[in-house]
Structures are given as structure tokens and as C-alpha cells.
Structure 1
Amino acid sequence: MSAKSTSLSSPAQDASAGQDEVLAPSNLVAFAGRMWAVLFLIALIVFFSITAPGFFDLFNFQAVGANMAVLLVLGLGQTFVIISAGIDLSTGFVMGLSSVASAIVMQALTGYPLPVIILLGLMTTLFIGLAAGAVNGVLVAYMRVPPFIATLGTLSVAEGVAYVLSGGPPVSISTRGLGFFGNGFLAYFHPEAGLSFLAMPSGVTGTAVRDVLGFFPLQVVYIVILASFCGWLLGSTRFGRHVYAVGGNPKAASRAGIPLAWTLFKIYVLCAVSASLAGFLYVLRFNGGVANAGDALMLSSVAAIAIGGASMLGGQGRILGTVVGALVIAVIQNGLVILGIDPFWQYVAVGAVIIMAVLVDQAKGRFFP
């Protein structure tokens, strides 16, 4: 009886104990460890807002969002691969190949209606992504080739085909109106002409165009749609649960009846399609494609995933974390440019943040398992 009585407590005592537990320093440290990327992003925004004139501005923030679009889309599919304890090295050149192939097709269709040109360019992009993803998926999932080796081979093939198709130089597109889909805005406002959507306010010509304000870049609209879809796919579907299971404990997942090979195949197809869509966004933004369009972005996309809290050992990660990681990289790049710092220091800054992300991840695993 006395033993039982020692374990009983009043509701008030339970509430007080719960509050003390929430406010305990260890819990605050654990919270900071989980949310460090968000806190670091806020700190970066505050720092550059103070030191970089013009940084804290609505239109600069819109530019940051538009500039990170390709990087984020490249990282969305890679997030699934990282969570499954794999890696896809081919995404950068799959992006470049899809940009070149779609640019060639769209340039050949010059004179056709713009919707037809865009649709066929998009279909070309998706075909490239599906083909590359199928090759990676078969090699990794069914032939048991290590992801590093399999995707390294696909990288070389995609790079070679992209340079053969383009001949080396960028492939430009002269189709009128295409640039709007890569650099336009969802809404426009002019002090006299008022508000309009998806087009300049009517009657605004000449020097009055300079007074038109654009809101919600279409590139941001695209990534909101794609990130929302990937977030739903990873967090609310059976496929998403299988991705976590495969990355966390493949043997247990197999015993639970999860089709490991088929799940891995779909993951690598999804990653390649995501990379090809990044290539298509590149074409829309720059009116052309280039073979090495995603060469430097591949590692940056993995960095965004690591900064966002995904474990490189698999089984852990979120799409929202990848979005935050991409924002961190984009804010660093934008802030350093405004400060007039040599662009090469961007690589140093991003590398330092990657090391910080790894250290934080190790600290979380050691002190807060």
C-alpha cells in the first residue's frame, strides 16, 4: 500500500512536473538541436538585414525564392533517396541532359503555338527523367549495384549524351513569350492601372512599365506545388512509410512484407524525374539549356538535405527540412552578393554550414537518441 502511495500524485503536481520537464534545460537543448536550421535561417536573415543594404526587402525575398527554385526541385527527389540510405550522383547531369533535350525540341518547334511548345518540352523532360530513373532503379534495386557506383555511371552517360546533343555550347530558344513562364509573376500592380494577374496591366507601355510591381514569382509558385506534393507523398502515403522503413531497417521492412526492390526502383525514378523537372525550370528561366546546368547544384542539393536534418545513414528526413536547407543556402548566397563579397566565398560558407549540420546531427544522436 505504501509503495503504491509513493507513486501517486495530484493533478496539480503532475502538471507542475510536466511544466518543469518542458522547461528543463535538456529539453530546450534538444529543441534547439531539432530546430537549429530554422533558428540559423532566422539568424542569417537578421544578420544580413543589418549588414546588407536592401536585403530586407519584399522584392529581394522574392528573388531569393525564385533563385532557389531549381536547387530545391533538384533536392526534392534526392530527399527520398537519402532517406532510403542511398545517394544519386547523377541528378546534376540528368538535369543538364533534360534541359538540353527539351531546349532542342522547343527550339525546333518555333512557330507552333506556345502551349504546344511548352507541353512537348515538358514531355521530353519527363521522358529523360523516367529513362534515367529506370536505369538507376534497375541497377540499384534489382542488380544490387551500390548506389554510388550505379549513379556515377549514369552521371557519365548523361553528361556525355548532353554534350553530344548540344555540341558543347548552350542551346538557346528564341520562342517569344517563353520567358514569362520562367521569370514572370502571378500578379502585377501599377499605381494607376491597378492589379492584374498573369499579365501586365492593360494600357501600361513605355517608361510606365518601370512602375509595375510584380508579386509571387512563378518559379516560387512551381516549387510550392512540387514541394507540397512531395511532402504529401512522403508524409501521408504508404509509399512514404515504405521509404522510411527501407532506409531505417531494410531487414525489418522485408519481414513486414514491404517490397524492397520495387520501393527502391520507384525512389530512384522519382529522384530522376525531379532532376529532369529542375532542368525544365532552368530552361524556362534562362530560355535555353546547357549540359552542365546542374553540375554545381548536385552537391548543393545534398547540402540542403543535410542542413534540413536528414540523416545520411537513412531513415530520417523531411521535405520541409529540405526547403529550409535550400533557403539557408539561397540566403547565404544572396547576402554575400549584396555585401559585395567574392562569389567563391559562397562555397566556403556553404561548406562550413554542411560541417555544422553533420556535427549537430552527431550531437543529437549522442546526447538525445
Structure 2
Amino acid sequence: MTTAQRRELKNDSPDMESRIKKRSIFPAIVFTLLVAVGLSVVVSVSIGQVSIPFGQSFWILVHQITGIQTDRITGDASGMFMDVIWQIRFPRVLLAMVAGAGLALCGTVMQASVQNPLADPFILGISSGASLGATFSIMLGFGIGGIFGELGVASWAFLGALAAAALVLGLASIGGKTSSVKLILAGTVINALCGAFSNFIIYFAKNSDGIRSVSFWTMGSLASAGWDTLPLISAVVLTAALFFLLQFRVMNTMLMGEEAAVTLGIHLNGYRRVYMVISSVVTGVLVSTCGIIGFVGLIVPHMVRSVVGSNHKRLVPVAILFGSLFMIWTDVFARTIIPNGELPIGIVTSLLGAPVFMYMLVKKSYGFGGK
């Protein structure tokens, strides 16, 4: 068979046709997700214990964002509706949108960095480190009702997350270059160690209110959303998103393996460390604000990858948008499923994500990294 015939056969292969199809639908997917996220913001602020008409919600948001006066806001909307939407629900929806984007982004980056389809933002022991910091803060009096108040919990959780990530990177660097296997093993060790210390503190503290607070925090919640918490978390996630949107070539090379990277002249160890540090900072900020929200960073990249393929030029932006959409509606479900109550969002993400992930595991047409 000649070279031309081989090229023609390759171009006509089903795999090539699938790639061309995924490339052609990418703009439509991005546009659809942008519209869906925008509509979801308006609809989600209308849903809750106090039901607000969608039209009223839309014009309240228009009025508050642009300052345009309109006579379409009538009745209770000028008072109670305005406060409910602008002071409570809208910051919470924005936090859900940013948190979903950040978790999905970090999950995508982690899966490429360690070349493991089971990787998520918490693979470096970040969740257990943050949990240890929050447990220390709450149970020993440095958090709720303590010296530093509510800020203490977030601060200690962030420090714990960064300390855990630093320990993992340090352990993985001992004895030579940092490999994906060493990162996973180091993350497992630190995760177990931090979990043991957290349980040790809880066992000897004997504080029932503190235990309840720790349990609720580790299940994840967006109840702390407010206009004062949004600027920092939004700036961190946006900066990381802009950076990783430009790194698609390196992440594609990571999926090809070390040998291919050496052939292309790319030093993967250096990139991997930078990616880990940035992802750790983003995840630490998210965890310190929202608690531990599992499964989003694991399931969203896989769902998106099955539609647009493994090319990170398409995968990263679609994962960011779909992560935002997924978290918005997960939060709506979490705060409305129980009358006059709220279900921890981490429970909801696991309940929704686990069946989808099981379906994708048994789906024979799906593979990680194009394999």
C-alpha cells in the first residue's frame, strides 16, 4: 500500500469522521451553553422558598445591573423581591457558576497532568487538607464563635489545602523527577494523614455543635455566598481559566505521554508543577469558600470529553461552561428539594454524578484521551 493510499484510508476512517464532526459542532455547543447559562441565571433566581415570576426576576436584574428604571417592576418586587434576588439569590447563583467553572477546569487539568481518568481537583489531598484546617478552626475555637469569626474557617481551610498540596508536591519530587504515579501515591498518603488528624481532633474535642458544623462544611454549601466573597474567587478562577485556555497544546501532549513530549521538546515536569500549583490555589480558594463539593471536577470533564473529544482546545472552554451550568442547577435542586431547608450540595452532586459516571464506564464507545 502506498503512502497516499494509507493517508486516504486514515482520512476516511470512522475515527477521523468522528473528529471532524466534533470539531464542526464545537461553535454550536459553545453558543448553546452560553445561552443556557444566561437563561439559567434568570430562572434560578426565581426558584426558591419564595417563588418569584421569571419576568420580574429578569427586570430586577436589568435594573440592578444597568441602573435602567422600568415600570415593569411592580408590587412586592420593589421591596421584598428586590432584596431576595439581589442580596441572597443572585450572589449565590454567581458563586455556583464560578465554583462549577473552577472545579470543572481543575478536574480537566488534573486528568491531563497525571494522565489518569479518575483524577479530580482533590487528588493532591487538597480536600483533606482543607478539612483538617476547617476542623482545627471550628473544633478548637478559631472559627465560628471564636477569635477570628467566620473568616477564620475559610482562612484555615485555605491554609490547610495549600499545605497539603505543598506536601504532595514535595513528596513527589523526592528522588528525581515528578511523575504522575508519584503524585497520585503522594496524594493518597497525605489524604489519609490529614483525614486521621481531623478524626483525632473530632474524637477528643467532644463538641457536638462543632461536629455538626464540620460535617455540614465537609458536605459543601453555597450558603456563605455574598457580594464580599465573590470578587476574590471570581478573579482567581477567571485568571486560571484564561491561562489554561492558552495551554491546550501542552495538555494534549501530556495525554500522549512522556516519550512523545521529549520528541516534541516539551519539558512536562516543569509544566506539570506549574499546573499543580495553579490548580491547588484555585481549588483551595473554592474549598475555603464552598466546602468540599465532590464529583463535579471528576464527572464534568468526562461528560464533555464524550461530546467534543479529547482536544483541550475544545475541551477546556466547554468544560468551564458546562461546569457552571451543572452547578447552577445542582444548587437549585439542593435548596428546593427539602421544604424550608437546604440539602448540602456535595450530597446532590454525588447523587447526580455517580449514576452518570457509571453509565459512561459501561459505555464502550467512550475512552479517555482518545484511547
TM-score range, shorter chain: 0.5 to 0.7
Residue 234 (structure 1) aligned with residue 248 (structure 2): no
CA positional deviation for 1:63? 1.7
**After superposition, what is the alpha-carbon deviation per residue over 1:343-364, rounded to whole angstroms, capped at 9, x for unaligned?**
67765544566679898x959x
Match of 2:326 in 1: 329
CA 1:345/1:73 → structure 2, altered by over 3 Å: closer, same or farther?
closer
Match of 2:301 in 1: 305
Q: 2:111 aligns with which of 72, 82, 99?
A: 82
CA positional deviation for 1:272? 3.4
Residue 96 (structure 1) aligned with residue 106 (structure 2): no
CA positional deviation for 1:230? 0.6
Output the CA distance in 2 between the equivalents of 1:50 and 1:111: 37
* Structure 2 unaligned spans of 5+: 1-20, 62-84, 215-222
Match of 1:18 in 2: none
Residue identity in the other structure for 2:243: L
Residue 54 (structure 1) aligned with residue 89 (structure 2): no
Structure 1 segment 203-352 matched on structure 2, within 5 A: 217-236=227-246, 241-282=249-290, 293-294=291-292, 297-307=293-303, 309=305, 316=312, 320-337=317-334, 340=337, 347-351=350-354
**After superposition, what is the alpha-carbon deviation per residue over 1:156-191, rounded to whole angstroms, capped at 9, x for unaligned?**
223223323444764879xxxxxxxx9474xxxxxx
CA positional deviation for 1:225? 0.4
Residue identity in the other structure for 1:257: G
Output the CA distance in 1 between the equivalents of 2:267 and 2:235: 29
Which one has the largest radius of gyration? 1
Match of 1:190 in 2: none
User: Secondary structure of 1:305's partner?
Assistant: helix
Residue 127 (structure 1) aligned with residue 135 (structure 2): no
Name the TM-score, length of structure 1 as normaliser: 0.56
Asked if structure 2 preserves the Cα contact closer than 8 Å seen for 1:48 and 1:335, the reply is yes
Output the CA distance in 2 between the equivalents of 1:142 and 1:231: 24
CA positional deviation for 1:271? 3.3
Asked if structure 2 preserves the Cα contact closer than 8 Å seen for 1:129 and 1:276, the reply is no
Q: How many residues align?
A: 291
Match of 1:289 in 2: none
Output the CA distance in 2 between the equivalents of 1:51 and 1:226: 28
CA positional deviation for 1:125? 5.0
Match of 2:13 in 1: none
Output the CA distance in 2 between the equivalents of 1:334 and 1:118: 20
Name the TM-score, length of structure 2 as normaliser: 0.56
Asked if structure 1 preserves the Cα contact closer than 8 Å seen for 2:158 and 2:287, the reply is no
Asked if structure 2 preserves the Cα contact closer than 8 Å seen for 1:248 and 1:315, the reply is no
Output the CA distance in 1 between the equivalents of 2:349 and 2:154: 34
Identity %: 10
CA positional deviation for 1:235? 3.1
CA positional deviation for 1:255? 1.8
Asked if structure 2 preserves the Cα contact closer than 8 Å seen for 1:92 and 1:298, the reply is no
CA positional deviation for 1:121? 7.6
**After superposition, what is the alpha-carbon deviation per residue over 1:271-322, rounded to whole angstroms, capped at 9, x for unaligned?**
334333333324xxxxxxxxxx52xx23222223344559999652665434
CA 1:30/1:246 → structure 2, altered by over 3 Å: closer, same or farther?
closer
CA positional deviation for 1:267? 3.0
**After superposition, what is the alpha-carbon deviation per residue over 1:32-61, rounded to whole angstroms, capped at 9, x for unaligned?**
456665566568668878987438445234
Residue identity in the other structure for 2:294: M
Output the CA distance in 2 between the equivalents of 1:268 and 1:26: 29
CA 1:76/1:354 → structure 2, altered by over 3 Å: closer, same or farther?
same
CA 1:65/1:274 → structure 2, altered by over 3 Å: closer, same or farther?
same
CA RMSD for the aligned pairs?
A: 5.3
- Higher deviation after alignment, 319-328 or 223-232: 319-328
CA 1:336/1:228 → structure 2, altered by over 3 Å: closer, same or farther?
closer
Asked if structure 1 preserves the Cα contact closer than 8 Å seen for 2:143 and 2:150, the reply is no
CA 1:334/1:139 → structure 2, altered by over 3 Å: closer, same or farther?
farther
CA 1:300/1:331 → structure 2, altered by over 3 Å: closer, same or farther?
same
